[in-house]
Amino acid sequence: MENQAPAKKKSVFSGIQPTGVFTLGNYLGAVKNWPQLQDDYRCTYCIVDMHAITVRQDPKQLRQRSLEAYALLLACGVDPQKSNVFIQSHVKTHAELAWVLNCNTSFGQLSRMTQFKDKSQKHPEDINAGLFDYPVLMAADILAYQADLVPVGIDQKQHLELARDIAQRFNTQYGNTFTIPEPYIPQATAKIMSLQEPTKKMSKSDTNVKSFISILDEKDTVIKKFRSAVTDSEACVRYAEGKDGINNLMTIYQAVAGKSFEEIEKDFEGKGYGDFKTAVGEAVADHLAPVRDKWKALMDDKDYLKQSYTDGAQRALAISQRTIDKVYKKVGFIPLG
């Protein structure tokens, strides 16, 4: 009996905004699993700097943040030898495909996008066409790589549905061209809440910096934030209904220390919340230290970063150009050369 060829790995696409550092919640909930993801799938990760300019940016700051975000992906374990990691504006096919998809997207669909309404309210002084249209660019990001799977949070689910609709409409009109992407739902992970309002999810956009941990926070800062975390008056470390603050701290401690809730309760029996908060802060700081150290080393090695994102862009262009060539032929453009 002949050996069967190994099954082709499914492809995953994810775009990351260069507008801030991951929180502890982002890291434990998703980013920590990316190194394993790239072993199981063909992964494409993109710093979406073109999406960032739908809101007015300081050019110098955008360049710096884009580089920092790229380095952060690598520091979190994304390997540019295993995954395709690049910066969106370096790959012209994203914008080229977006224009063709624009001409296959209804105005009505875009007008129903909730994020456009939300961002328009937040930035009434700059309601631009790009802000209205960027879900089509997002669809182009995904469809250019014939992605099978797209990791999405609740706030991006509507945009993935649009990408699916556009792909299906194009396939119906011009023949089979695009893979229809599916949402990637990871295995259940820790849901990390705000340190100051433990009924709310931890978010980097929170105006109270004490409410979230950035994965690049220094050790002293991490411990200080945990010491100021909101708890309750019982002064007993146990997981129970109505103890949102302690439940959140126990969930975090379980995720970084690998201990069960029963072990945590036993370890801190008879001890106060102060001891527990300090222990959680130290455990989190130690857990994040390798990421922080790797990020600093990468930011000091600009030549390596440049080589990595250049190689990534060249590979991304080669892959996405095949899609563009097929799309241009389907819609009736005359090929060059």
> One of 204, 210, 219, 259 is an active-site residue; which one?
204
Half-sphere exposure of 1 (CA within 13 A, CB side): 3
The CA radius of gyration of the chain, in Å to the nearest whole number, is 22
- Cα separation, 313 vs 85, in Å, equals 8
Q: Dihedral, CA atoms, 198, 187, 239, 259, nearest 10 degrees?
A: -120
Q: Are 252 and 280 in contact (CB under 8 A)?
A: yes
**Where does residue 73 rank: exposed (0-12), middle (13-18), buried (19+ CB within 10 A)?**
buried
| Cross-strand pairs, 273 | none
Active site residue 201: yes
> One of 9, 32, 200, 201 is an active-site residue; which one?
201
Work out whether the CA dihedral 104, 158, 161, 74 comes out positive or negative: positive
> One of 32, 119, 243, 277 is an active-site residue; which one?
119
Q: Are 49 and 43 in contact (CB under 8 A)?
A: no
Instruction: Give the end-to-end CA distance of the chain in Å, rounded to a whole number.
Output: 46
Q: How many residues does the chain have?
A: 337
Token readout for 231 is 């708890």
Active site residue 326: no
Catalytic residue IDs? 119, 201, 204
